[in-house]
Each structure stands twice: as structure tokens, then as C-alpha cells.
Amino acid sequence: MPLRPASASDLLIDGKQVAGSGSTFDIVNPATEEIVGQAADATAEDMSAAIAAARNAFDTTDWSRDHALRARFLRQLRDALLAHADEFREITVAEVGCPVFLTHGPQLEGPITDLGYFADLAETYEWTRDLGEAKPMGLKNRRELRAEAAGVVGAITPWNFPHQINFAKIGPALAAGCTVVLKPAPDTPWCAALVGKVIAEETDFPPGVINIVTSSDHALGAQLATDPRVDIVSFTGSTATGKKVMAAASESLKKVFLELGGKSAFIVLDDADLASACSMAAFAVVTHAGQGCAITTRLLVPRSKLDEATAITRDSLAGLAAGDPTDSGTICGPVISAAQRQRVESYIELARSEGGTIEIGGGRPAGRDRGFFVEPTLISGLDNTSRVAQEEVFGPVLVIIPHDGDDDAIRIANDSPYGLSGQVWGTDEDRINKVVNGVRTGTMAINGGIWYSADVPFGGYKQSGIGREMGVAGFEEYLETKAVARPA
């Protein structure tokens, strides 16, 4: 089947593709500002129908108890999506504006392949665990623990890595035996809606098990948080919105998973290879135009090497100009929208007003009159109390900050409301481990190590979120534990 729709992408509700009761809204290519298509603009009534379908599928079928069936359908979905990889690649670059090289990894093929990991978990997980015999109150009993699916999942996802985040919720939730209603971001509806097309036309998923509802109305996400038929809300997005989701979900005491913002530190110790470290920091912050919650956006370098580190980082950024995301050599594409570009530019102006120096960048690339591009930007002359060092910019903007030794670097890294990710570069293992142990963050890379993988839990400390996504820990977010005892 041709994957690209002629006009609007349908909703997926109760196993069927439906147009929805609303109208449509435009999808804009962030690299060209062209309208590339339309998506179905669902209403509250459509969302209610999707929740009802998910509730019915969970309550009245064997979906939650048939582990082998779920594994088979997840593999079926993986294989069907991979068969359309090139079509999805074109659509993803056009809708997200991500550099095409990323679609061979975390923007597309990686997350699709990861569905197989969760299929394996459904088959191999220890669903029942024998606790043996005990004599509570002198009475001999045999006890066991049973893991059971938690129920209906409302998944609310952002636009920056839509496939990775959509499948990081859909995969483990379905593997655990839950049913799902997915509400993707209005900026990237096709990436989700066309998965729904594949599910409806090329897989055997039972009706209602997975529902996909696109809409320009953010209130539909809030609807998932408040509807009592939904048992879990799994949200990825800004910390400010995450707080609202948590508050709304508290009315019905839903389980809540939150993966939120970050202002992660790239720590360079005084025994590190400075050139390699600073070049990597520059590469990291421009990847996908800095639109990643775990991207390191604070570069902490020894004070005695500040000038040298600034020069290296500036020169590295000069070779990483923002460019056409369809070009295989592009690392930094556009940001997602005009509003996001304005936000990034407002932070750069704020840095200037706070006394910062724009070492490179700070504007829009010459010769690119169309597209939401921002120049890779390095800011110096500010300390960690500045707003651009404390707040998430979500653009290709790096702040370089001096530190006075390992303890001071740890202090600066932790002086943040966030705790999502980080890096440390050095050669002395004891010092590296001291930093890793001292920084309060969910993931840490050592000398460029890559932690991203289906089996590695991802999440943060402090205001970076609650819970973990991916890995066994992420799978278990969608489970409840039942204790069972009988006379022995």
C-alpha cells in the first residue's frame, strides 16, 4: 500500500480508520515552511470514543492475559513498519525537520526495531513469582506474586523524537498487556497517524487495543489525564505541562509517568583530552538543532582552560552549520516551528542582556530565507545562575561555564532544577566515578559513551520526571503487583 495519504490522515479508533468528527489541520515542513499535508483534527467526542474502545478491549478480552499473542502482534507491527522504512523516512524528515541520518537510528529504525525487545519481554518476563511458605499468625501459607497489566494507558507525546517516544510508550504498554490511547503532538501528527494506518491495514491487532487520536487541541491530552476510564497517564514533554498533567491525574489517583525537561551538564575534567571533549560537546548540542531533552547544553570546563576550550568549541560549531535535513551530511536542521525559533532567539537576546558574549552564531543562517533555522550558538561570560544556564532552551545553544575542580563541577551540575542526563570526560577512573556518583541525574555518559538502547531505562531526577521509560523498569511502569496466598 502507498503510505502517504492523499489528504488527511485518519484516526485509529476501535480497530478502524475514521475521519473523526472535527475538520483537519495543516502539517508544515519546518525546513521549507511549506504545507505538506493535513491531519485529522479530532474532538473531545473522538477522544472519548477511543478511550471507550481501549476500556472495552481491556475489560472484555484476553489481551492482558495472552502473553504469546501480544508478542506475536508486536513483532508483526515491527516487521510491517520496517517494510515501509523508506516511506516513513521521507515523511519523518518532512514533518519533524530532523536530519535524515538520525532516521537510521533514534528517529525511526531504532525505535521500530526496539518493538522486538518488548515482544521478547512479554514472553520471558516472570509473570508469577513463588515466595514459598510462611507461617503468618502460626498458619502455614504458600504465597506468590503475580504481575498484571495496569489497564488503559493514555500516552501523550511530543514532537522532537516522535517515533522514539511513541514506541517507547506503545511497545512496553502493549507488551505488558495494557491497551493504549495515543495522543501525539500537533506538530507531528503524521508520524503517529500513519503508524495507525499500518496497524489497521497490515496487522491483526484486536479492535480497541491501540487507538491513535491526532488533534491540534491540547485539551485532548488533558482529557486523558482526567477521564476515570484511563488508568495510567504516560507523558513526555515540558516540566510545566507535566506538572499540570500530574495535578489533573490526581483527581482520580491515576498512575503517572513523566519524562520532562533537562539542562544537562557536559563536564570536562582537567586531565581530559580538551579538543575531543569540546568537539563532542559542540556536536551534541547541534544534533537535531538541540531539540532533545537529554542533550547536554551546559559545558563545564576547567577555569584555567576556559579560553582554549571556548576557542575549540567555537571552531567546532563553525563547521556544524544549520542545513537542509534531507542532506545526509546535515547534523543541525531547523527547529520545529516559527514559535520555537522565536523562543530560542529570545533566550539568545536574554543572554546578551545578562552580559553574555555570543562567541559564534546568535542569529539566522545567511542564505536561508525559508525554514525555521537558528545558527549554532555558543555563549560565554555567564555563570550558572543565568537564565540560559538554568532554563531549557531546546535549540542549538550551548553555554560554556568555568569550574574550579571536580567538586565544583559536581556542584554546578547539580545546581539545576533538572537531573536528566550528562557527560563527563577525563582519564582518571577514580575521579570520573566520583563525578558519576556525585551528579544527580538519570543517565551519564563517560568519554562519549552511548547509553541509549531498548534495554536501558531512561528518566530523570528532580523536575526531570517520575519513573523510567525503556528497559525492564520502563516495562514495569505498566504493571500492577498482586499478592496471592493459600493454605499450604
The span from the CA of 299 to the CA of 412, in Å, is 11
The span from the CA of 290 to the CA of 396, in Å, is 4
How deeply is 447 buried, as exposed, middle or buried, from its count of CB atoms within 10 A (0-12, 13-18, 19+)? middle
Q: Give yes or no: 109 in active site.
A: no
Task: Return the DSSP state at 177.
Answer: T
- DSSP string of 290-318? G--TTSEEEEEEEGGGHHHHHHHHHHHHH
The span from the CA of 46 to the CA of 42, in Å, is 6
Q: Where are the beta strands (DSSP E) in 274-426?
A: 296-302, 357-360, 377-380, 397-403, 418-419, 422-425
What does the radius of gyration of the chain's CA atoms come to, in whole angstroms?
Answer: 23
The span from the CA of 18 to the CA of 415, in Å, is 49
Task: Return the DSSP state at 14.
Answer: T
User: Taking the alpha carbons of 4, 5, 10, 15 in that order, is the dihedral positive or negative?
Assistant: negative
- Say whether 279 sits in a helix, a strand or coil: helix
Residue 454: other Cβ atoms inside 10 A: 21
Catalytic residue among 109, 259, 469, 477: 259
Residue 391: other Cβ atoms inside 10 A: 17
Phi/psi region, residue 214 (left: phi>0; alpha: psi -120 to 50; beta: rest), is beta
**Which residues are catalytically annotated?**
259
